[in-house]
Amino acid sequence: MPALNMVQAINLALREEMRRDRSVVVLGEDVGKDGGVFRITDGLLPEFGEERVIDTPLSESGIVGAAIGMAVNGMRPVAEIQFMGFIYPAIDQIFSHAARIRSRSRGRFSCPLVVRTPYGIGIRSPELHSESSEALFCHMPGIKVVVPSTPYNAKGLLAAAVRDPDPVIFLESTRLYRLIREEVPEGAYTLPLGKARIVREGKEVTVISWGSMLHKTLQAVDGLDAEVIDLMTLNPFDEETITGSVKKTGRVVIVHEAPKTGGFGAELSATIAEDAMLFLKGPVLRVTGPDAVIPLPKLEERYAPSPERIRKALEEIMRY
């Protein structure tokens, strides 16, 4: 079984889904001859041809709009947006059309569309290349939001997203693209959307994170009796696993790199308060990015939660 990084695992998922189902197509800027800005689609053009691996003009709204048209007419498009900071021109297409087609048509049409995009800091890129605005998409009904944290999970979740009958926003951490390797089996498999995983069991505190923050969290909990949850799907999120863990530990720390105000941690915190308040031994703490525009490269490490900041929050909550 080969040890793959996340780039290779996502590439393998796309290749296998395109072989399995001829309705799966890939489109985006430079996804064909150049293999994508991070080489995720490398090698797909020679195997599947220009009709299924489509280089597009530099127009994010056009990419997603065309993909929606394909999806409604029986295709399963996977659209690539080069960086999350460039996805905002396409939000009208995603919110006003992709998310509503099932409801608008009273179930006569669905929109089996995947929009892949890198997110977050970690590669010292310029402005608009490091956004972490996942909460925006979680607010919109009709859209699933998926954030893998490892190569194995990335492959299984992407395959499930491609087969899903409704729109999926698939967020890939730029920091993780080539940071870690793990064994990833060849051959199709899927992981269920909407299901979290308990990465590390514990009894004293629950830590919830996703994407690249999971790996910093695992550094921070060393030596503690902490239960670590990798959310994997933010919308819909696995409420049962979260509340079950909180009822066991009574303490919660939520970690994400997006700004604190309106971040997805706020939704998790409110849900825990509604479902498990009587089990809490202290307040739900959040370790997040600051409420500031993501800085240019020299300051990005000061922006994102560090293992030291996460550890400090864990020590604070353990005093309750």
Residues annotated as catalytic (active site), given as ranges: 129
Task: Tell which residue, 101, 194, 110, 188, has the closest CA to residue 146.
Answer: 194
Distance of CA 167 to the CA centre of its chain: 14
**What is the signed CA dihedral for 38, 306, 285, 154, rounded to 10 degrees?**
30
State the Cα–Cα distance between residues 119 and 116, nearest whole angstrom.
10
The beta strand positions in 3-147, using DSSP E, are: 3-4, 24-28, 53-55, 76-80, 114-119, 144-146
Contacts of 263 (CB under 8 A, 6+ apart): 135, 256, 286, 288, 289
Element (H, E) at 216: helix 213-220
* DSSP SS3 for 235: strand
State the Cα–Cα distance between residues 271 and 276, nearest whole angstrom.
8
